[in-house]
A and B are shown apart, each in its own frame.
Chain A
Amino acid sequence: MNEENGTCKESKAVGKEKKQIAEPGPPKSERGRLVMDRRRFLSLSVSAAALVAASGGSWRFLAGTAHGGLDSKTVQGATRVVPTVCGLCTNKCGALARVVDGVVVKLDGNPRHPKSRGKLCARGQAGLQLLYDPNRLKVPLIRAGARGSGQWKRASWQEALDYTAERLLQIKERYGPQGVLFSSTEEFQERFFLDLAEAFGSPNTIRHPTQCLVANNVAFFHTYGTVPLPDLANSCLILMAGANRAEAIITPDTLDLFENLHYRSKFIYLDPRYTVTASKADIWIPIKPGTDLAFVLAMIHVIVKENLYDRAFVEQCTHGFDKLVEHIEPYTPEWAARECEVPAVQIVEIARMFASAAPRAIFYYGRRSSFDRNQTAFRRALAIVNAIVGNWDSPGGLLPPQSVSLGFTLIPPFPDIEAPRIDGLPESYPLNNTQDGVYSRARENVLKGEPYPVKGWMVYKQNPLHGMPDRAKTQKMIDQMEFLCVIDVLPSDTAWQADVILPEATYLEREDPLHTESSIRPHVVYRQQAVEPLYESRPNFWIMKELAGRLGLGSYFDYDLKTYIENQMMTLSEEARQALREYGVWTREGYPKYGEHRAKGRFRTPTGKIEIYSTRFEQQGKDPLPVYQPLPKPPLGQFRLLMGRNAYFTHAALQNNRWLLHLYPENRLWIHPEEARRLGIRDGTTVEVVSPVGRGTLKAYVTEAIRRDCVYMDHGFGHTSPALEAACGRGVSDQTLIADAADEVTGGVSYHETFVEVRAAA
């Protein structure tokens, strides 16, 4: 050990010493914490009471000083490593929380997790800032002034839950249980919210798929009998349309794509916008928005006409190929070239490349499929083009998804629900999953009050004002509610409108039920509690149980979470259980597997085969084969508005995270330089965007990276809740501008069908 190293160690220790900041905040010991918390909140409620008396209660309860935790952390001291699962987006990457003296100091990826493989993206790493966000919901709040005025009364849990149950029962009495809408977004404790809805007797559960992936799911499900997963890691040719994997991260797809880049695979990417993914592709095709379906139909045309398809597989495992041959006759590359503004020779070449690389070729379909009226047909075409080249259950192709079956907890059978759903499912959209609902139809009917009034709304982990197009309409929907209760971790725009806000504990403060994610490597994750819930936040299970008790539905929650989890574990081997407790994840060995399913040749469809020609679609009066509808053109001088996202935020959820906001403080309007010049817009100056349903101002980003006929903005900005002190007022919400449009097969929102005018603002 030479002297220099000795100095180095010494000085590092001393240097670190200097870095300790003695800031006020909860003391380090965990035991002391709870006492301190209570004392703190006693003092808070005293001052709160005074404030209530004075002002009727202001939103300042939602604001607050930073929790002493982060800034006063040191890396010395006893470290506990707690396996958890990142909760900042839908990927559920395994993470390891390093906890020192009751403070989470760092989140690392869990190397054993088959999807994330030891990595965490910027959001995952910034999870600390969610836990310690000064604007977090800390205490239950009851509205004390007009809706949206920001006047709150700080309530105890007892009060808030009593009040909520009372209002819900009132609505049940007057309008029936169907008078309450239960909308939620997926997470490990969402199950309990949906159970409460069913126990309550309301058929009206709405989740997010119709704002995102419903077209994808419906199209693939009715083709393959399941929604397959791509084996990108082993693929030699990857075609991607609009799935911006570099900025809309999906694990392991994003990791597989980049690992493979310039190595095994050729990567061809279609997008009207030059995204980061486009910059990594071997070929970027600046396709005209809304015409992806034409491109794929032409590809199918070439593959069929030139006999490049997998004849044996098609004959053995598919149904309806002969009808396909007839159907794609008019969809020639020349025709597609005119629609897509892509040269016909390129379409032909790509079709040939794709077919010759098959079965190690994938036309990747991603997740979000909420673009335009063609979306379901487009996804069906993707399902078909993958099927006919025979990449099913083959290395580098599409694989049947695998999950692990977990044990369950017996609860009493739910009551029969007589009332029809407010969105008319299943009749209105028979191809959809009923429980997910159709948001746009539901909203429409709620506003009309038909077939019955819906006056209560329970929202769990959702922000409809930011998720649904035509924000003004969503606001009307809120306004006509008699009771709105939001369960969340941050004071979102929707929470700001609520009658009752209930603070949920974040993922780092909870132990959650086991979860198995549909994957090509079946695995189970076990999220363990890293720290005790801060402030007065509680896990959703507790909230649901308490509410259920007050609603007379206690028998449905007559268990505790520990038991629930134990029951889940019962179907797993001891080895698996050990792995879950110690590492937070257990993966079944021997995957991905290839060929087993293909050999059997049986699919969960009416014909038992891959339905190129969908009998179910036909049955329901929809096109059994994908039919192309050209989109209307924007009027002269207007642009098609495109929206999307970047790698730093999850939709509208994380803009208040200061570490992430620092990377990307606001959204801008992407506009081509020629168009900008024509309109007198310079880069960085403010522009006004006007659509048929709203308007907004934001800065312009003049860039060559977008076509002349469209403009683009990131989703998720334009928060109006003043309690989100970092995010409020930054940028504009795309949903203020986007008009309500949906595809008629699934009712899924079409976010890219709105035309806007752009003007330079003063």
Chain B
Amino acid sequence: MKQGQGRFKRYAMVVEVKKCFNCKGCVVACRAENNVPLPISRNWIEESGIRGRYPFLGQTFEPAACNHCERPPCERVCPTGATYRTSEGIVMVDNRKCIGCKYCIQACPYQARSVNRRDKVIEKCTFCIHRLEEGRIPACVETCMGGARHFGDVNNPDSEVARLLAHKDSYVKKSEAGTRPAFYYVF
């Protein structure tokens, strides 16, 4: 492992799709952890619905949230620079600068952002940065019952996420958008 001053962390989420069984523990954990008011959510499960004809059927569940893109369209279009990306790859919103124009919501290909009308802020996943600072993992990852969610520094080859991505085939959502998400799905 290279010990370099110039090497930054890049936090990423890796989801083993087969293990997600839609318990939605992550959705409620996020709501509790981040005080997200109904009816919006920072994260959700994409349900494929039932595929096929009885009895040859299939069904998939893909957890989703802000992808913390390397090239976030939301950051690009924000007129005040309120949306920014930390050096560890987490896309955040500086509420001092946000004017609430909702351009970022239009720009996000993943529909990951919404307006929190109670607190008048943009609501989106922050990879539980407040927990990361305490050395804990995001609430959704901690509570994932299927063990589907993995989180860590993908630039560290020894991390669980790096190993998963090396070992398994993976995909990201809407790769044609050129956003380079930090939210990976493995089979």
Cross-chain contact B86 with A120 (CB below 8 angstroms): no
Q: How large is the interface on A (under 10, 10 to 19, 20 to 34, 35 or more residues)?
A: 35 or more
Task: Please report which residues of chain B, range 85-129, place their CB below 8 angstroms from some CB of chain A when the two chains form the complex.
Answer: 86-87, 90, 92-96, 118-121, 129
Q: Which residue of the partner chain B has the closest CB to A663?
A: B24
Instruction: Pick from A175-183, A255-263, A431-439, A542-550 the stretch touching chain B.
Output: A255-263
Cross-chain contact A119 with B121 (CB below 8 angstroms): no
In the assembled complex, A146 has its CB within 8 A of some CB on chain B: no
Instruction: Pick from B55-63, B70-78, B153-161, B177-185 the stretch touching chain A.
Output: B55-63
Which residues on B sit within 8 Å (CB–CB) of A8?
86, 90, 92, 129
Which residues on B sit within 8 Å (CB–CB) of A52?
none
In the assembled complex, B170 has its CB within 8 A of some CB on chain A: no
Cross-chain contact A703 with B94 (CB below 8 angstroms): no
Cross-chain contact A259 with B92 (CB below 8 angstroms): no
Rounded to whole angstroms, the CA-CA distance of A619 and B94 in the bound complex is 75
A647-B24 CB under 8 A given contacts A4-B86, A704-B54: yes
Rounded to whole angstroms, the CA-CA distance of A277 and B31 in the bound complex is 26
In the assembled complex, A118 has its CB within 8 A of some CB on chain B: yes
In the assembled complex, B29 has its CB within 8 A of some CB on chain A: yes
A125-B121 CB under 8 A given contacts A5-B86, A14-B95, A704-B54: no
A246-B21 CB under 8 A given contacts A73-B35, A106-B32, A274-B50: yes
Cross-chain contact B143 with A108 (CB below 8 angstroms): yes
Cross-chain contact B22 with A125 (CB below 8 angstroms): no
A707-B147 CB under 8 A given contacts A11-B92, A12-B130, A659-B38: no
Cross-chain contact B52 with A704 (CB below 8 angstroms): yes
Task: Please report which residues of chain B, range 5-42, place their CB below 8 angstroms from some CB of chain A when the two chains form the complex.
Answer: 18-19, 21-25, 27-29, 31-33, 35, 37-39
Cross-chain contact A109 with B143 (CB below 8 angstroms): yes
Rounded to whole angstroms, the CA-CA distance of A14 and B96 in the bound complex is 7
A125-B130 CB under 8 A given contacts A647-B22, A704-B54: no
CB distance from A282 to the nearest CB of B (A): 11
Q: Which residue of the partner chain A has the closest CB to B52?
A: A704
In the assembled complex, A743 has its CB within 8 A of some CB on chain B: no
Cross-chain contact B95 with A11 (CB below 8 angstroms): yes
Say what secondary structure dominates the interface of chain B. loop
In the assembled complex, A426 has its CB within 8 A of some CB on chain B: no
Cross-chain contact B27 with A663 (CB below 8 angstroms): yes
Cross-chain contact A647 with B35 (CB below 8 angstroms): no
CB distance from B152 to the nearest CB of A (A): 16
Cross-chain contact A125 with B25 (CB below 8 angstroms): yes
Task: Please report which residues of chain A, range 72-92, place their CB below 8 angstroms from some CB of chain B when the two chains form the complex.
Answer: 73, 75
Rounded to whole angstroms, the CA-CA distance of A704 and B119 in the bound complex is 42
Which residues on A sit within 8 Å (CB–CB) of B96?
11, 14-15
Cross-chain contact A703 with B50 (CB below 8 angstroms): yes
A276-B38 CB under 8 A given contacts A14-B95, A119-B142, A120-B29: no
- A280-301: CB near B (< 8 Å → 1, else 0) gives 1000101000000000000000
Which residues on A sit within 8 Å (CB–CB) of B57?
274, 278-279, 284, 704-705
The listed residue (A14, A107, A122, A704) touching B23 by CB distance below 8 A is: A122
Q: Which residue of the partner chain A has the closest CB to B85?
A: A4
In the assembled complex, A39 has its CB within 8 A of some CB on chain B: no
In the assembled complex, A332 has its CB within 8 A of some CB on chain B: no
Q: Which residue of the partner chain A has the closest CB to B88?
A: A5
A246-B23 CB under 8 A given contacts A19-B35, A125-B32, A286-B55: yes
Cross-chain contact A280 with B18 (CB below 8 angstroms): yes
Rounded to whole angstroms, the CA-CA distance of A690 and B94 in the bound complex is 57
Cross-chain contact A259 with B23 (CB below 8 angstroms): no
CB distance from B143 to the nearest CB of A (A): 5
CB distance from A99 to the nearest CB of B (A): 13
Cross-chain contact A280 with B32 (CB below 8 angstroms): no
In the assembled complex, A658 has its CB within 8 A of some CB on chain B: yes
In the assembled complex, B53 has its CB within 8 A of some CB on chain A: yes
Which residues on B sit within 8 Å (CB–CB) of A7?
84, 94
In the assembled complex, B145 has its CB within 8 A of some CB on chain A: yes
Give the interface centre of B19, B22, B28, B35 by most chain A CB atoms within 10 Å: B28
Rounded to whole angstroms, the CA-CA distance of A658 and B58 in the bound complex is 30
Which residues on A sit within 8 Å (CB–CB) of B25?
119-122, 124-125
Cross-chain contact A276 with B59 (CB below 8 angstroms): yes
Which residues on B sit within 8 Å (CB–CB) of A660?
28
In the assembled complex, B64 has its CB within 8 A of some CB on chain A: no
Rounded to whole angstroms, the CA-CA distance of A4 and B38 in the bound complex is 31
In the assembled complex, A573 has its CB within 8 A of some CB on chain B: no
In the assembled complex, A46 has its CB within 8 A of some CB on chain B: no
Which residues on B sit within 8 Å (CB–CB) of A247?
21, 23
CB distance from A317 to the nearest CB of B (A): 35
Tally of chain B residues near chain A (CB < 8 A) = 51
Rounded to whole angstroms, the CA-CA distance of A18 and B35 in the bound complex is 13
In the assembled complex, B146 has its CB within 8 A of some CB on chain A: yes
Which residues on A sit within 8 Å (CB–CB) of B19?
258, 261
In the assembled complex, B144 has its CB within 8 A of some CB on chain A: yes
Give the interface centre of A105, A108, A706 by most chain B CB atoms within 10 Å: A108
Cross-chain contact A705 with B23 (CB below 8 angstroms): no
Task: Please report which residues of chain A, range 692-706, place their CB below 8 angstroms from some CB of chain B when the two chains form the complex.
Answer: 703-706
In the assembled complex, A128 has its CB within 8 A of some CB on chain B: yes
Which residues on A sit within 8 Å (CB–CB) of B60?
279
Rounded to whole angstroms, the CA-CA distance of A225 and B139 in the bound complex is 42
Which residues on B sit within 8 Å (CB–CB) of A274?
50, 54-55, 57, 59
The listed residue (A18, A73, A105, A121) touching B145 by CB distance below 8 A is: A121
Cross-chain contact B53 with A704 (CB below 8 angstroms): yes
Which residues on B sit within 8 Å (CB–CB) of A647?
21-24
Which residues on B sit within 8 Å (CB–CB) of A703?
50
Rounded to whole angstroms, the CA-CA distance of A569 and B22 in the bound complex is 39
Which residues on B sit within 8 Å (CB–CB) of A658?
38
The listed residue (B27, B50, B139, B145) touching A258 by CB distance below 8 A is: B145
Q: Which residue of the partner chain A has the closest CB to B93?
A: A15
The listed residue (B50, B90, B92, B129) touching A705 by CB distance below 8 A is: B50
A662-B39 CB under 8 A given contacts A14-B96, A18-B95: yes
A108-B145 CB under 8 A given contacts A14-B95, A122-B25, A274-B59: no
Give the interface centre of B31, B59, B143, B144 by most chain A CB atoms within 10 Å: B143
In the assembled complex, A21 has its CB within 8 A of some CB on chain B: yes
Which residues on A sit within 8 Å (CB–CB) of B93?
15
Which residues on B sit within 8 Å (CB–CB) of A119?
25, 142-145
Which residues on B sit within 8 Å (CB–CB) of A15?
93-96, 121
Rounded to whole angstroms, the CA-CA distance of A705 and B53 in the bound complex is 8
Rounded to whole angstroms, the CA-CA distance of A125 and B145 in the bound complex is 12
The listed residue (A21, A125, A249) touching B143 by CB distance below 8 A is: A125
Cross-chain contact B146 with A258 (CB below 8 angstroms): yes
Which residues on A sit within 8 Å (CB–CB) of B87?
2, 4-5
Rounded to whole angstroms, the CA-CA distance of A605 and B23 in the bound complex is 40
Which residues on A sit within 8 Å (CB–CB) of B121?
15, 18-19
A255-B147 CB under 8 A given contacts A12-B130, A262-B18, A286-B54: yes
CB distance from B133 to the nearest CB of A (A): 8
Rounded to whole angstroms, the CA-CA distance of A674 and B106 in the bound complex is 41
Rounded to whole angstroms, the CA-CA distance of A463 and B93 in the bound complex is 46
Which residues on B sit within 8 Å (CB–CB) of A128?
32
CB distance from B160 to the nearest CB of A (A): 14
Rounded to whole angstroms, the CA-CA distance of A121 and B125 in the bound complex is 19
Binding site for B on A (CB under 8 A): 2, 4-5, 7-9, 11-12, 14-15, 18-19, 21, 71, 73, 75, 105-109, 118-126, 128, 246-247, 249, 254-255, 258-259, 261-262, 274, 276-280, 284, 286, 647-648, 658-660, 662-663, 672, 703-708
Q: Which 8 A-B pairs have the closest CB atoms?
A: A246-B21, A125-B28, A279-B59, A15-B95, A11-B94, A286-B55, A258-B146, A122-B24
A122-B25, A274-B55 given. 14 additional CB < 8 A pairs?
A7-B84, A11-B95, A15-B93, A75-B130, A106-B32, A106-B139, A122-B24, A125-B143, A128-B32, A246-B21, A258-B148, A261-B18, A659-B28, A708-B54
Listed A/B pairs (11) with beta-carbon separation below 8 Å: A7-B94, A11-B95, A15-B95, A106-B32, A120-B143, A259-B147, A274-B59, A277-B21, A279-B60, A659-B31, A705-B50
